[in-house]
A and B are shown apart, each in its own frame.
Chain A
């Protein structure tokens, strides 16, 4: 993650400005390999370590929550330049101020839990 610079605010800005292939290459590679792998697991019904079939949980059908939630997430992503995983990689990397972002992400998660039932899903 750190080596691919996906944890850099600069790279996220560059991505949202469509000025380099970098981030699309990283995500695209992961998704392409992912699609192939998931298809293979389903086709050959590959079992996991415990011998249980690997199942995929379809997310609940809805548009509004994914769109609205996605937009809010995107706003935060472009502002802080970090999604949850890279936040903690940054902290390990020595950007300790990222701890603020992480703590407020916890607050945000808590807020969602608090008002969940009042939001359209």
Chain B
């Protein structure tokens, strides 16, 4: 019995091990090709670089110059950090308020926000980018307002779910002690919600960092984020530089891997917590 179980476990382990390698191989193939000359990639992507095809870091220098990748990295970083910060602050305030104050307005706000989660972006992409244009939101600061608007649905939804589970006696005690709602929120509720802030922040970071279409339509012609820079390399027909493409894909993946390995525990917990409340 024990031996049989052991054998079974070993087979499972080997199976998972092979699968894990299959999951990682695509990234290694891109890494490998990023060191090969641009004309040696498409024809034989699975061949290791050799003395004839190896070009060192040339793809990286060419790619960086072509795409303005470093600038793109900082635009992406700026937009993601400040949008996520804005979203978690304002949507937690909204979620707490509409969950605690039971009124018609509160439930209208809640259901309209939930509805927005289902609607595909294409429904509003044209009118939204025109509105952004008119209101001068077509820059890396203005786009934060748009992300707050689009992120509101999911974030309010998750925060509301957790606010419901906090006993409101604590807040009532604070009110009796003379706290106004703003003090109650920031002194009492805010600290209790801490773990949920991490969840909401992580879900929004994953979305905004990788988002392509919204920034492309709103700020794409003047400011390139990382996904826009990558798509830009695709360029016109026939002129595509595969070497630069491989190098930029590697540079796009590196920050994500670092972010993931550093915060892995929180990311996985965040995904689970977000899903369970959903």
A and B are partners in one complex rather than unrelated chains = no
List residues of A whose CB falls within 8 A of some B CB: none
